[in-house]
Amino acid sequence: MIAPRPPTTTPAPSNTRHGDFMETQWLAFSIAALMVTVAPGPDTFLVIGNALSGGVRRGLATVAGILTGGLFHVSLFAFGVARLLMYSERAFWTVKMLGAVYLIYLGAKALRSALRPRADADIDGAAPANASLWRGYAQGVLTNALNPKIAIFYLAFLPQFLAPGDDMAVQSVLMIGLHYLMGTVWLSLLAFGAARMAASMRSARVARTLDGIVGSLMLGFGVKLAWSSR
Percent of the chain with pLDDT over 70: 75
Phi-psi region of 11 (alpha: psi -120 to 50; beta: other; left: phi over 0): beta
What does pTM read for this prediction?
A: 0.74
pLDDT at 6 over 70: no
Return all residues near 184 (Cβ < 8 A) that are at least 6 apart: 63, 66, 67
Q: Taking residues 206-210, report their average pLDDT.
A: 75
Count of CA atoms in the C-beta half-sphere (13 A) of 178: 18
State the Rg of the chain over Cα. Answer: 23
Query: Which pLDDT value is given to residue 120?
Result: 47
Mean pLDDT of the chain: 78
Q: Taking residues 182-193, report their average pLDDT.
A: 94
Give tens-digit pLDDT for 68-106.
988 887 777 767 766 776 677 787 788 888 888 988 988
**d(Cα 61, Cα 136) in Å, to the nearest integer?**
6
**d(Cα 64, Cα 144) in Å, to the nearest integer?**
11
Q: Taking residues 140-161, report their average pLDDT.
A: 81
Q: Taking residues 10-31, report their average pLDDT.
A: 65
- Regarding predicted confidence, which is higher, 200 or 124? 200
